[in-house]
Structure 1
Amino acid sequence: MAIIKVKKITMQNLRNVGHGELVLTVSFDTFLQANVVGLYGQNGSGKTTIVDAFALLKTLLSGDSKLPAQNKRLIMAGEQTASLDFEFLVENEFGTFFVFYYVELQEDQHRLYPIVERLSYKENIKGKRAKVLMAVTEQDVHIRKSSLANINEEVRIQLLVLQQLARKQYQSFLFHKDLQPFVQARLSEQEIQLLHNIAIDFNRDLHVVNTQNIAPLFEERMMPFSIHLEKTRGLIPYDLKGPALLPEDAFYALCEVIEQSNRVLSAIIPELTIKINVITKQTLDSGEQGMRFEFLSQRGEQALPLRTESEGILKIIAILSVLIAVYNNPNACVVIDELDSGIFEYLLGELLTVIDEDGKGQLIFTSHNLRVLEVLAINNLWFTTTNDNHRYIQLKGMKEANNARDAYLRAIQLGGQDEELYKETKTFKIKRAFRKAGVQHD
């Protein structure tokens, strides 16, 4: 089995990040150990942009999903393009490799689209140079040593048509499903395997839980289960407002998630388990069979609809399957925005400690709760700065024994880091603003 880990992410002109770089403490020697990486900083300082970068990556790797609509405003104001550069470590049957994926994005009046993509790799052997597997610009296409200029006319026309098709569909060209026949004929077995490792293996085990996923839980009482099972990955929504109706395959996948989650849930929230109350089978409008059912939360002898639980507990249940995956699966890469939202801080610290100490996958999250700074190693903590051209840093002058929470608060108040961490607020100005606002409304 191949193992794929993210090593580094570099961003240019994405949202409010002019330049930002995040490096994870992973190596080929620590492949089976967890990476739990927390990102902290002032509101609006670029934490969520990391989550957006991974969401874009997942869309591009899928090869058949459209990039986000233009109203998301993902390119920095005043800039024409944004870029992402990901570095992966890959171990497979052929050896160990560094794999690099670079994409440059533009937007029209509708959506983002890639204008440059490049996938390259380097063997983990001293002195070896990086080789380009595939690259595309608006002017040319490269598949290893083949380019538009040195391939026969029939193939050249097919590639140009596919390039235009990917552009119109706002999709990646390199990972487009229709490109595979051209790739198979021009790459070595080792190179085809590396492409499969990134496009299929890594993408399958990458889960991005952003505010768009979680918002329906709070706004529409629609609970989005993030799912990582052997045969099922992705999101399945569950309607908290009343008995839910889902196709049979989605229902049975949720049943498996509940069975999996119940093994952990009562250890996290004492005495809590989830029961499944099947109401009836029902034919859906599509003609396929569906199940009408509801989830009940059971504490002791009492069973109530799951919607009666707090939003914090519902959020834990919704993401528990992917957290279990991070603990057990070295390939799981889970990225969560505002992990701490609604979750009791002590419990949050306990969960992260358990995953950090004995887990195998990668968990990257943003948070406001400083409790986490007391439980994670300093080399797994990143902080946003007020400089949009050097957006992410790690605290310098820190030893493992130092309390990162105290050091962070001290750095906010006194400085001493390479970049300013907090755009200062003055309490007297806040008081005066509150007073003036009150006068205007009297």
Structure 2
Amino acid sequence: MTCIVRITNVEITNLKNVRKGAFHTNSNFTTLEKADVIGFYGQNGSGKTAAVEAFNLLKALLSANQDVSLPKITSNLLYFKEKLIGLKFEFIVENEFGEYFVQYSVSLSPGRVKYRVLEEEISYRENKEHTSFKSLISKGENGVLIGNKKGQEMDESDRVSVMVANRMAVTNSTSFAFREELKEVFEGLLEEQETELMKNLSSDFNRDLHVIDTIQYGLLIANLVMPFSVHLEKKRGSIPYEMQDTMVLPTGLFDTIDKVVGQTNIVLDTIIPGLQIKIHQINKQTLSDGNEGIRFEFLSVKGEVELPLRSESEGTLKIISILSTLIAVYNNPNACVVIDELDAGIFEYLLGEILEVLNENAQGQLFFTSHNLRIVEVLPIQNLWFTTLNENDRYHQLKGVKRLDNARDVYLRAVQLGGQTEEVYAETNLYDIKMAFRKAGIAHDDN
């Protein structure tokens, strides 16, 4: 039986401009194969991107056995004058052993160069009445606990593995709990279903978790790199396509790109009528490592007209770059895709159509941030979270929205008049804006 893992709740503490914030999804054990599309809206600088950063950190933590490091402290993730970033993720898991609630909490602190894990805990309980959470693994000031065994109570082999995992986690700025060195320790100290839950998070869920942030979009609009997000049956990740005349890839990566293009073209023509992507293979050549590579170029094809793909608009390139992951959300109940500024460069009506199709027919989870209010009109209000001015309570859902209300109108009314439990917009004044522009111009003239 294939497992399904869904995020149900996220709590954020001291991350970027969010001192405290929490949001939940609409997933439960009866909707495991139905779409769960969650959008974040709000004023610039109000905490939308912090939600994406939380998923970025989760991805890095789950990828500890691949030595994926946590970010450098120069990324300025820590809230001003605070010492710790706190994250808590709650999941529901269905696997061959049953149904479970799983919690993962972690505290991060700045190290010398990168952030490091200070405390970490994973706990679970069965989806049955009168069951309580049981700790799988915890690391903190009092040491390490795996199952019901403290570090000093383990046999020598397990103690050594724990020490090695801890040293590697500190040295490489990774999670401790998801280190590969602990695999045999888990098998010896945890029950079979508990070991399986650890695998469900670190392997199954992590494999299908894609986080697409604005850094990737920035490279695209700068005409430098278009990241091809990849979600095929046996391939996951991202392949950077350098926006040049031609590019060389190892044969294996080229074959993967070829499959992604074939997959993308099936959907692309329905989204942008008449457009297809073509791979023009130029030649084979030997790479610096001695392996064989293929030099090729991407072409956009419309009827009989073929042009370099880089000549397409930013919005078209963005759709192409993320389409494989959106296809995954549509078809894979275990897919979890997070996209910052999904609306950037994409025609608002088309974006609304895509999200409406996904919300009504998809099987996976999609989290996104956006400024375009067209989406507020096509998604149910329970799918939308709005950032507030309260740094201690950043994420809220709109109150007082009736079934037939236009959520866009309700939100704009909240922006202009308030009426929600928390303010959602810092008031601006047209007269003040005009005067500021005028003063700035005069000041410039004086110089």
Normalised TM-score (structure 1): 0.98
After superposition, the C-alpha distances for 1:120-163 in whole angstroms (9 at most, x for unaligned) are: 11100010011101111144111100112322355334423431
In the alignment, what sits opposite 1:182? 185
In the alignment, what sits opposite 2:254? 251
Q: How many residues align?
A: 442
In the alignment, what sits opposite 2:85? 82
Q: How does 1:19-418 map to 2 (within 5 A)?
A: 19-63=20-64, 64-153=67-156, 155-418=158-421
How much has 1:32 moved relative to structure 2? 1.0
- Determine helix, strand or coil for the equivalent of 1:99: strand
Normalised TM-score (structure 2): 0.97
How much has 1:164 moved relative to structure 2? 2.4
Contact residue 226 and residue 319 of structure 1 kept, 8 A: yes
How much has 1:368 moved relative to structure 2? 0.3
What CA distance in whole angstroms lies between the structure 1 residues aligned with 2:286 and 2:183? 38
In the alignment, what sits opposite 1:421? 424
What CA distance in whole angstroms lies between the structure 2 residues aligned with 1:263 and 1:236? 20
Contact residue 332 and residue 361 of structure 1 kept, 8 A: yes
How much has 1:321 moved relative to structure 2? 0.1
- Determine helix, strand or coil for the equivalent of 1:149: helix
Deviating above 3 A after TM superposition, structure 1's stretches of 4 or more consecutive aligned residues are: 152-155
Ranges in structure 1 where 5+ consecutive residues have no aligned partner: none
Aligned partner of 1:298: which letter?
V
How much has 1:312 moved relative to structure 2? 0.3
- Determine helix, strand or coil for the equivalent of 1:437: helix
After superposition, the C-alpha distances for 1:354-384 in whole angstroms (9 at most, x for unaligned) are: 0000000000000000000000000000000
Ranges in structure 2 where 5+ consecutive residues have no aligned partner: none
Change (3 A) 1:138 1:284: farther
What CA distance in whole angstroms lies between the structure 1 residues aligned with 2:170 and 2:223? 34
Let me know the Cα RMSD of the aligned residues: 1.0
Aligned partner of 1:317: which letter?
I
- Determine helix, strand or coil for the equivalent of 1:29: coil
How much has 1:399 moved relative to structure 2? 1.7
- Determine helix, strand or coil for the equivalent of 1:225: strand
What CA distance in whole angstroms lies between the structure 1 residues aligned with 2:189 and 2:295? 50
- Determine helix, strand or coil for the equivalent of 2:30: helix
Q: Percent sequence identity over matched residues?
A: 52
Further displaced range: 209-218 or 376-385 = 209-218
Contact residue 161 and residue 185 of structure 2 kept, 8 A: no
After superposition, the C-alpha distances for 1:302-358 in whole angstroms (9 at most, x for unaligned) are: 111101110100000000000000000000000000000000000000000000000
Contact residue 161 and residue 182 of structure 2 kept, 8 A: no
- Determine helix, strand or coil for the equivalent of 1:252: helix
What CA distance in whole angstroms lies between the structure 1 residues aligned with 2:197 and 2:161? 24
In the alignment, what sits opposite 1:10? 11
